[in-house]
Amino acid sequence: MFMKKTWLKLIPIFLIVMTLPVLVLNPKTNPAGLFVTKEAIVENKVEKIIEENNDKTLQNKSEVEDKFIYLEFLKENTIYSHFVNKETGEDTDFSYFIRPEKKEEFESKVQELIYLKYPKFIADILVKAETSRTYQIKENALVIYFYDVLIEPQIHDTLSLTINYNEIKECLDFTFLLDQEYTNEDGYNYLKNKKTVALTFDDGPNDAKTNKIVELLEQNKAHATFFMVGNKMQYGSSTIQNVLAKGNEIGSHSYNHANMKRQKLAKLKENEEKTKEIYRNITGQELIYTRPPYGSINSKIREGLDTIFITWNLDTEDWLHRDKDYIVNYVMENVSDGDIILMHDSYDSTVEAVEELLPKLYAEGYQVVSVSELANIKERTLEKNTIYRSLKKSQ
- Give the 3-state secondary structure of residue 152: coil
Q: Which DSSP helix (H) or strand (E) runs through 376? A: helix 371-377
Asked if 198 and 366 count as a contact pair (C-beta separation under 8 A), the reply is no
Distance CA 389, CA 182 (A): 38
Active site residue 202: yes
What count of residues does the chain have? 395
Distance CA 381, CA 317 (A): 29
- The number of C-alpha atoms within 13 Å of 29 and in the hemisphere containing its C-beta is 15
Backbone angles phi, psi at 292, to 5 degrees: -65, 135
Sequence letter at residue 30: N
Backbone angles phi, psi at 74, to 5 degrees: -130, 135
CA distances from 212 to 187, 208, 219, 353, 367 (A): 20, 6, 11, 12, 20
Query: One of 82, 223, 253, 344 is an active-site residue; which one?
Result: 344
How far is the first Cα of the chain from the last one, in angstroms, to the nearest whole number? 108
Asked if 265 and 233 count as a contact pair (C-beta separation under 8 A), the reply is no
Q: Is the dihedral of CA 94, 98, 104, 110 positive or negative?
A: negative
Distance CA 53, CA 128 (A): 29
Asked if 223 and 368 count as a contact pair (C-beta separation under 8 A), the reply is yes
Distance CA 44, CA 53 (A): 14
Query: One of 82, 202, 318, 339 is an active-site residue; which one?
Result: 202
Active site residue 321: no
Asked if 185 and 83 count as a contact pair (C-beta separation under 8 A), the reply is no
Distance CA 272, CA 376 (A): 26
Distance CA 366, CA 355 (A): 15
Please identify every residue annotated as catalytic.
202, 344
